[in-house]
Each structure stands twice: as C-alpha cells, then as structure tokens.
Structure 1
C-alpha cells in the first residue's frame, strides 16, 4: 500500500482552513440549503460600468420614438458593445422589453 494517499489527505486537511478563508471582496448571497444556511461571497470585483446595465430607453432616446437605434448609444457605452446580444429580434432597434432581459 502506498503512503502517498494518506500524506495527500493529511496535506489537504492541514491546508483546508487556509483555503477556506473568508473573502470580503464582493457582495454576498445567503440561502437555505438542505444541509443548512449557505453564504456565497463573490470574489469578482464589481463592474465599473454596472449602472450602464440598468439603462432604460428614455435615458438614451434622443429622437423620442421610445426605442433606441445604434446611433443613439454612445460609442463607449456597454450597450454599444453588446448591441447584437440585446437586439433579440434583430430589427435594428432596442426596446425597454429587450433591455429588461439584458444583464
């Protein structure tokens, strides 16, 4: 019988607490699992342009037609880069309904 497996298990037991340190870098979500309460902490930093993902048509609608065409969206806006993902029906316009599904 090899002695490597027990040594590897021992190394994991010793390193476990160090690997499971509480990370305080992002938002937390809490829920109840079948085994008890669970807290999940994001280690991904918040997006610097997160507010752009909450945009409404009225925020950018320059001509007042209650829909956006690509020329109404600033070149550096997140919607400009993800236009083809948001314009689900591929009609060249983005509506509030399409924006509501964009996250």
Structure 2
C-alpha cells in the first residue's frame, strides 16, 4: 500500500476491501499507508463471494480506534462525473446534495 501511494498520483484513490484483509491490524496499517476507500460494504461481495464483509458496526469499531470513520459515497467519484450522460449527472448531483456525500474521501 505504501508503495502504491508513493508512486501513484495523489488524485488516484487507493482502495482496500476490508473483507479481503484477514487481520484488523493489517487493515489499519493499509489506511495509515494511504488507502482511502474501503469499497462497497454490503451483505455479500459478488466479486469475491467466498470473503464475507465485516458488518459495518464491527468495521467502524476497528477503524475508530485509530481515528478513522466510515463515510458514505456514491460508486463514482466526483472527478469522473463528466463521463456520465447528462441525465445520470443530474441524478448523481441530486443524490450528493440529498445525502450530503463528501466530495472526496
């Protein structure tokens, strides 16, 4: 994670799915090294179904120990909104305003 953060441009957000990290301490070290996205957290990982997600409450407890907080986000980052059709852009903007999603995690 530290190497990825060092070589990638700052505008690239590095994701670490917590269900693929078996030890909470390793997850915390990934966050400390620069990971800023935990991916989609849900009842089932359709890409990696053999690796169930930690429930959000437990995940919050793990990351809160080091001062981190879970934040909701849409599945698209704001810097890529222009790739969407105008109709989807309006919908995304509406959701961001309605749910007060952060512009950057």
Same fold by TM-score greater than 0.5 = no
Structure with the larger strand share:
1
Larger Rg: 1
**Structure 1 length normalisation: TM-score?**
0.23
**Structure 2 length normalisation: TM-score?**
0.22
